[in-house]
């Protein structure tokens, strides 16, 4: 998440339906979308909605360089689900970073440009 804003340098789409700028725009980060439809070879359309942690306002971008807000989950999921259904999604998957404590020194995988890199939690968790 600390490299979230650097997504402009990436080809990866950022799914964060509840992350908005102060004007309530949902695409203020490069390549940000609230949801996306994946078309499978068998004709099935899977809609995916991304959510970000409501604590991100205090944990990330604390230096104030980005002015943003994080909306409540339920209304955003309902709104995005309706959009995906209108676009023909047969099923909807919800992905979210809704908060997780990380013990200092613990490792976890982060997906970067088709590879997984190992990172280590810092002492702040």
Taking only the tens place, the pLDDT of each residue in 22-60 is 777 776 677 788 999 999 999 999 999 998 887 665 555
pTM score of the predicted model: 0.68
For β-strands 45-51 and 35-39, DSSP reports them as antiparallel
Q: What does the pLDDT look like over 71-85, one tens digit per residue?
A: 888 899 999 999 999
CATH superfamily entry for domain 4-120:
Metallo-dependent phosphatases (3.60.21.10)
- Nearest one of 54, 44, 45 to 96, comparing CA atoms: 54
Write out pLDDT tens, residues 90-99.
Answer: 999 999 876 6
Gap between the Cα atoms of 108 and 63, Å rounded: 25
Instruction: Kindly list the domain boundaries of the chain, sorted by start residue.
Output: 4-120
């Amino acid at each position: 998440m600390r490299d979230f804003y650097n997504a402009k340098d990436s080809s990866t789409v950022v799914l964060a339906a509840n992350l908005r700028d102060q004007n309530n725009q949902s695409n203020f980060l490069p390549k940000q979308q609230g949801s996306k439809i994946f078309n499978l070879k068998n004709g099935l359309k899977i809609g995916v909605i991304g959510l970000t942690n409501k604590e991100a306002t205090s944990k990330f971008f604390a230096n104030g360089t980005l002015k943003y807000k994080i909306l409540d989950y339920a209304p955003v999921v309902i709104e995005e689900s309706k959009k995906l259904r209108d676009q023909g999604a047969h099923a909807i998957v919800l992905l979210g970073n809704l908060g997780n404590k990380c013990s200092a020194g613990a490792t976890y995988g982060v997906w970067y440009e088709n590879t997984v890199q190992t990172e280590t939690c810092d002492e702040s968790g």
